[in-house]
Structure 1
């Protein structure tokens, strides 16, 4: 099921995580945070903000309706955000409101051909790699590596079935019958910290940590592009 064609169709409505910076989360964010077992505000402040300089150039994969994108733009007033999505996200992100600081690319594949090499200071995704099988993730990590500057960091949330077992499938909103189905028939393919770290290393990344430990259901890997 997690083919590129399926991903293009499944999220055409634009995924929304709510306002990730608000002190009081709205209903959308409350529901999401209950599923993942963590605070999106805490995730952003601890995982993203420390790596954002005012003039940073940031790449985001799969922004959907732009919950994380808008938060990032708040912290890079002199910087630039480029987002890559299978959908035309301009209808939700309205780049015309950001004075050239936001560029939205429509992807046809996982090549990242629309963005420059050696350009970005930070690469971010949340709610994206969890819907990709390991073959797709390998493509994404391999093809995105050259887009970052040497020394730049990437942080990605991904599905971790080991953590999901501990957290609870029903509590996490993932159907229990996925355990008996192959990855190409489910929207939450198998992955864990050891697998994800191996994929990243084979793609050429240096793994800083396989999980930041900020949410209970999923993992968030921190990667660095070496020089």
Structure 2
């Protein structure tokens, strides 16, 4: 199922996680945080905010309705955010509201060909790589690397079946019968910290840490482009 064509169709409604910075989460965020075993506000404050400067150039993959995008834009008043999605996210993110600070790209593949090389200071995704098999992830990491400036960081949430085993499949909202199916048949393909670290290194990234430890069900990898 996690083919590009499937991903284009599955999320055409626009995924929405609510206001990730709100002290009091809405019902959607409450349910998601319960499944994932973590706080979106904590993720933003500990994983994203330390890597933002007022003039940062940020790249985000798969913004959906822009829960993370809107939060990022609050902290880069002199910077810019460019987002890539298979859907036209402009009706949801309303880029005209942000002047030239927000650019929304519709893409057909994982080539990253619409973007300039050596341009971005920070690359972020959440709720994206967890729905991609390892072949897709390898392509995403390889093609995104030259788009970042040397020394820049990338942080991505991804599925970690080892943590899921410990956390609980039912509690995590992932069907247990997925264990008996191939990755091409499910929307939560197999992955773990060792696999993700290997994929990233083969793509040319330096792995800072395979998991930030902010989520009980999933992992978040921190990568750096060295040169």
Q: TM-score, normalised by structure 1?
A: 1.00
Report the counterpart of residue 210 of structure 2 in structure 1: 210
Report the TM-score, using the length of structure 2 for normalisation.
Answer: 1.00
Matched with 2:15 is 15
Whether 1:81 and 2:116 are equivalent positions in the alignment is no
Measure how far apart 1:34 and its partner are. Answer: 0.4
Task: Summarize the alignment of residues 27-176 of structure 1 with structure 2, pairs less than 5 Å apart.
Answer: 27-176=27-176
State the SS of the aligned residue for 2:58. Answer: strand
In 2, Cα distance between the equivalents of 1:201 and 1:22?
A: 35
1:99 deviates by 1.1
Indicate the RMSD between aligned Cα atoms, in angstroms.
Answer: 0.3
Following TM superposition, by how much is the alpha carbon of 1:20 offset from its aligned partner in structure 2, in angstroms?
0.2
Superimposed CA distance per residue, residues 104-161 of structure 1 (whole angstroms, 9 cap, x where no aligned partner): 0001000001111000000000000000000000000000000000000000000000
Residue 169 of structure 1: how far off its partner (Å): 0.2
> Partners of 2:148 and 2:106 in 1: how far apart?
19
Count of equivalent residues: 227
Q: Distance in 1 between matches of 2:128 and 2:71?
A: 17
The one-character-per-residue Cα deviations of 1:42-97 (angstroms, maximum 9, x if unpaired) are: 00000000000000000000000000000000010000000000000001000000
SS in 2 for 1:130: helix
SS at match of 2:103: strand
Name stretches of at least 5 consecutive residues in structure 1 with no aligned partner: none
Distance (whole Å) between structure 1 residues aligned to residue 139 and residue 196 of structure 2: 13
Give the ranges of 4+ consecutive aligned residues of structure 1 lying more than 6 Å apart after TM superposition: none
